[in-house]
Amino acid sequence: MSKKILVIHGPNLDQLGKREIDVYGQTTLKDIDQALEEKAKFLGVEIKAVQLSGEGEICKEVGSAKENGFAAILINPAAYTHYSVAVRDAVVGAQLPTVEVHLSNIYAREEFRHKSVIAPVATGQISGFGLNSYLLGLEAVVNLIS
C-alpha cells in the first residue's frame, strides 16, 4: 500500500475561481485537487483532500491524521494561518511532517497576512506560486517521508 498524504484546504478555498481573481486567479479547488491527484499518482502516493471551513473541523482532521494512517499533511490554513493557535497546536500534536502552502505570496499582501502562526511548527512553507505551491508542497512532503 502506498503512503497516504492528508491535504487540507481551509476556509473560503471552495470559492476559488469566483473570488478575488486578481489575487488567486481562475484556478478552482477542483482544478487543484485534480492536479494533486495526478501528481500523487506520479509520486506513488495516495492523497485525501478535504475542504474545511471551521477551525474545529480542521483541528479534528489534523489531530486524527496519524491514527487514520496518514504519513504527512499538506495544509493551506487560509485565514487561520495568521491567528489560529488551535490549528497550530493541532499541527504540533499530529507529530507528522507538515507543509503549509498558499496560492498567493502572503508576505507581499496586507500587513496582517505577513505572519503565519503555523509556519514555525510546520516542516516548511511554500507560497506565491498559485497551483504550483500545492504541487511543490506535495513533492516536499513525499520527499520527507520517503
Active site residues per annotation: 24, 102
Q: Binding site: what residues are annotated? A: 76, 82, 89, 103-104, 113
Give all strands of the β-sheet with 70-76 in edge-to-edge order.
45-51, 3-9, 70-76, 98-102, 124-127
- Hey, what's the cell of 142? 513525499
**Per-residue cell: 51:** 475542504
The binding site for substrate comprises 76, 82, 89, 103-104, 113
Packing angle of the helix pair 55-63, 85-94 (nearest 10 deg): 10
Rounded-to-integer distance, Cα 107 and Cα 49, Å: 26
CA distance 60 to 115: 23
